[in-house]
């Protein structure tokens, strides 16, 4: 399963997993936070805005799991 993690190629050097920020994932996290803020500002206009909290937690869980798996692969432990 660890072998299935995507590696990042940079000028012939293999970068370790998690060393470069994923702008696409950070953008999704920002949108999730924005949904929560908008729900607090205008709750009647954006029902279900708390979905942003769920999305934020799922994305954060993915990033933490990816980091832990990469650490385990590099060092043999966490």
Radius of gyration of the chain (CA): 17
- Reading the block at residue 57, the tokens are 């937690």
Say how far apart CA 7 and CA 56 lie, in whole Å. 24
Say how far apart CA 13 and CA 34 lie, in whole Å. 36
> Model-level pTM greater than 0.75?
no
Say how far apart CA 47 and CA 43 lie, in whole Å. 6
Encode pLDDT of 31-47 as tens digits. Answer: 888 888 888 888 887 77
Mean pLDDT, rounded, of the chain? 76
């Amino acid at each position: 399963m660890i072998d299935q993690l995507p590696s990042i190629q940079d000028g012939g050097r293999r970068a370790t997993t998690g060393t470069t920020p994923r702008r696409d994932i950070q953008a999704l996290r920002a949108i999730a936070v924005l949904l929560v803020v908008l729900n607090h500002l205008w709750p009647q206009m954006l029902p279900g805005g708390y979905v942003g909290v769920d999305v934020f937690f799922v994305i954060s869980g993915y990033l933490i799991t990816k980091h832990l798996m990469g650490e385990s692969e590099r060092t043999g432990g966490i």
